[in-house]
Structures are given as C-alpha cells and as structure tokens.
Structure 1
C-alpha cells in the first residue's frame, strides 16, 4: 500500500535522485532510440526509454475518470482466455485492457475495468494506437511491435505537472520529445503524461530509469502515453484527456495491471 506520506517521499526521491543521476541529453537520445517507443521513422530526438510482468488529441483538463457501467458485471475479465486470465494477479482490482484489432494492426481500444463484489465493471472504451507492426509474444528492441502480456502499473511521470494521480509521479524535462512519427505527425507533447508498463523495467522507479532485467536486446521503455495521431514504436497511446482520466483513476491500493495484445492472443 502506498500511503500519502510514502507517495510524497517517493516522489521527492524520484525527483531528486533520478534527475541528478540522469544521463547527459545526447546519451538520453541514443538510449531512447535503442530501447523505446513513441518515436517514428523520421524522429530525431528523444523517442522514449523503460519489467517483466510484475505486480508492482488534446482535451479538457477537467475530463472525468472512466465511468463504471451499471448492470450485471462479469465474474471474469471479458475477452480474455484461460492463459491470459491466469496471468492476472488474484489481488488485482483494476485492469487496463488494451485490445488490438489484429496481430499486425497499429490500432486498438482501451478499457479500464474495476473489480467489485459483483464482478468486473467496465469503463468507457477509448481509441488507441500501438506499435506500427502490431503485436508480438517475444518483443525485441526495434521490432516495431508491442509486447503481449500482463504487466504491472506502478510508476508515472510526464513533462506537465501531476494531474492528480495516486501513483508516484515524476515530473521532468527528460520527457521532452521532438521530431515526427511514422506518418509525419509531430511527436511534441507525446510524453506530457506517461504511465510506465512494467515490461523489462524495474518497478518502483521513474519511467526514465534504464534498468533492463531481461537485457537491452529485449527492448524497454514501453509506456502508455499521449497519442500523436499515429503508430508507436512499441507503446500504447491515448488521447490527452483520456490519459489524464486514466492517471486520476488508477489506485496503487487496487494493484493495477495492463492486459495487452491483439484480440486473438488475449483469447488464448
């Protein structure tokens, strides 16, 4: 459990320790290019950085948190098969389900589910982008596919001030990005808000941390971040107002995870 005192201390530690230890800007850019997503074919600066599965458009600043739908709730997360469900920790009561259109598509939908006494309640469905070439069961650095799996959500950050999340938030200039994406769209603002996905990263650290438990070859820097109206290198991107709503809704006491992959893979 992360108390308000712990959260405050953790933020202060992240802000001072990681910023003072951060690499020079030139090294940052190289590291992001080698290991992250969010950049595009012609990106020239700061495409992004980033565990193994582990517990752990512009919109209105007053966008509400995802709504919970009334009515009967399913006992299991819908759209998921037994192998995927088995990876969701029993203590998890929040699940961000990212469903890709198909194995090779860069478009997907995101729904935040909340587990209640009566079952899993679904929030609204949000459009999203994932990696240019779709999805993979064995992500490698530079393969332009998003990793399929169930991963913890423990750490957040961004270029802009904390919008009101209960998770540790690292505000830093290290989230600055420029250049253009795969479809020529500007990348500026993509990292205004980010949520680190615990694929090949060390949970409990700023999203800018470069620790790669599986090695650099397995990629990293897989985030939920602000959509730039085009495919990513490996991340999942949402419209700005939806990222703010998701950040406000996630609760560390509910052990949130992301369940992500193409629809066929998630049904296994």
Structure 2
C-alpha cells in the first residue's frame, strides 16, 4: 500500500496542472466586437468602452441638432440638446471623400480626443487641454510633417507665414477667439492623408455656417467641457 501511494504521488507530480490561470485570464479579457447603434437617427460606431456620444443630425441648410447621450444601466439617455447646431457651408460629405477647402463637414464617427481654448484649464475638465497662445496654429500645410496637428510657429516645421488665400495656409488660432473659446478636437484624418482636410472641431457658434467643423451654442460647449470624460471613450457621430 505504501509503494502504491508513492507511485500515485509521482504520477500526480508529472501530470500538467489544471489551467486555472488561463481560464481566469480569458474571463478578465473577453473578446470584443465593434457595435453600431442609432441615436436620434444617426448611426454611431461605438468604441470598446464608449459611454458618451454626441450626435449631429443635419436638419436643413447649415443647421443641425446636437445631442449628448450617456449610457446608463444599458440604455442611452439624452442629456444636453440644441437645435442651433451648425455644419459646414459646403454641406455634408463622407469622410473618406472630403477635400480640403470645400467647406464640407465629414460624416461618420470620430473620437473626441482633446480640447483647446482661450481659458485657463479648470479642475472640472478631464479631456487633455491646451490653452491658445500667441503663435499657435492648426497646421494645414500639406507639405508639412505636422499636417493636421496643433503647433506653434516657433517650433517650425510648417509654413506659418503663408497668406490665408494660399491653399496650404494654416489656421492661426488666435484669429478665432469667439469660436475657439471652447473647442473639442475630432480625430478626423488623424492619419494625415494629404488634401483630405484638417482641423475639424466641435466649437462655439460663429455668425453662420462653419468651414467644415461642427459648432453649437457657447453654453452647450461649456457644459460639454465639464462632462466629457476620456475614460468613457466619448465619440461624435455626424449624419444626415
């Protein structure tokens, strides 16, 4: 009996251990499939942990309805809302077909990745934020490695001196103190496809249509700055 017990112990030592760790790992990291939902008539492509969505539903002319949605207990609930949203003077176009300088707003779903503006940062803002300084531009120079990026002229790397009438002129941010008081950056064309366009933001309304961005009343932008949370993977979905 003693010899049999020893043999059993040796066999147990040679057998592979039960895959408990592998099972726990699989449960902790389940597979994910991108999902699409429709909110206010706009198709939204959700990211992995998206719990905040801004929809832009074109109504007529350059007008649009802009709504902030939040996921609560498995249901999308509308929060902030305005019927005084604006789009580009050139209307809407598929993001992959957009061309720089056409005044069109790209349709599709885009990450709301960061923000900039004229105010000092407050503790209520969770998005990465940059305060506009003298010499700050959004680069629209197709010959630059910094195309579709925020950059100061002192850093160089783009032709900041080009006149606004030039096809490759970049946007001097201090020239738009009203619209860019609060401005949230869309990741449209973040891969820097030349001539597709750059500098697509969600910003404060100006006097009329935008040049391709989405805009909304100042009061709504202030509230969005306080509510958008990068941990909730916020996106904006633009549709007809």
Which TM-score tier does this pair reach, normalised by the shorter chain? 0.5 to 0.7
Q: Please say which structure displays the higher CA radius of gyration.
A: 2
2:119 is the alignment partner of 1:160: yes
* Distance in 2 of aligned mates of 1:118 and 1:256: 16
- Tell me, yes or no, if the aligned pair for 1:159 and 1:176 is still in contact at 8 Å: no
> 2:102 maps to which residue?
143
Gaps of 5+ in 2: 1-35, 137-171
The structural deviation recorded for 1:214 is 3.8
2:81 is the alignment partner of 1:92: no
What pairs with 1:118-197 in structure 2 (closer than 5 Å)? Answer: 118-126=74-82, 127-137=84-94, 138-163=97-122, 164-173=124-133, 174=136, 176-178=173-175, 187-197=176-186
Aligned length: 164
- Name the TM-score, length of structure 1 as normaliser: 0.57
The structural deviation recorded for 1:124 is 3.1
- Tell me, yes or no, if the aligned pair for 2:37 and 2:46 is still in contact at 8 Å: no
- Tell me, yes or no, if the aligned pair for 1:76 and 1:119 is still in contact at 8 Å: no
* Distance in 1 of aligned mates of 2:85 and 2:186: 15
The structural deviation recorded for 1:252 is 0.8
Deviates more, 1:163-172 or 1:222-231: 163-172
Gaps of 5+ in 1: 1-74, 179-186, 202-212, 263-268
> 1:78 maps to which residue?
39
* Distance in 2 of aligned mates of 1:95 and 1:194: 16
* Distance in 2 of aligned mates of 1:215 and 1:251: 28
1:238-262 superposed Cα distances (whole Å, 9 cap, x missing partner): 1212111001110111100000122
RMSD (Å), alpha carbons: 2.0
The secondary structure found in structure 2 opposite 1:246 is helix
* Distance in 1 of aligned mates of 2:40 and 2:205: 24
1:89-122 superposed Cα distances (whole Å, 9 cap, x missing partner): 24211000011115xx211111000011140000
- Tell me, yes or no, if the aligned pair for 1:176 and 1:189 is still in contact at 8 Å: no
- Tell me, yes or no, if the aligned pair for 2:87 and 2:209 is still in contact at 8 Å: yes
Decide which structure has greater strand share. Answer: 2
The structural deviation recorded for 1:139 is 1.3
> 1:229 maps to which residue?
207
- Name the TM-score, length of structure 2 as normaliser: 0.63
What pairs with 1:1-268 in structure 2 (closer than 5 Å)? Answer: 76-80=37-41, 84-85=43-44, 87-102=45-60, 105-126=61-82, 127-137=84-94, 138-163=97-122, 164-173=124-133, 174=136, 176-178=173-175, 187-201=176-190, 213-262=191-240
The structural deviation recorded for 1:194 is 0.6
Which structure carries more relative contact order (alpha carbon 8 Å, separation 6+)? 1
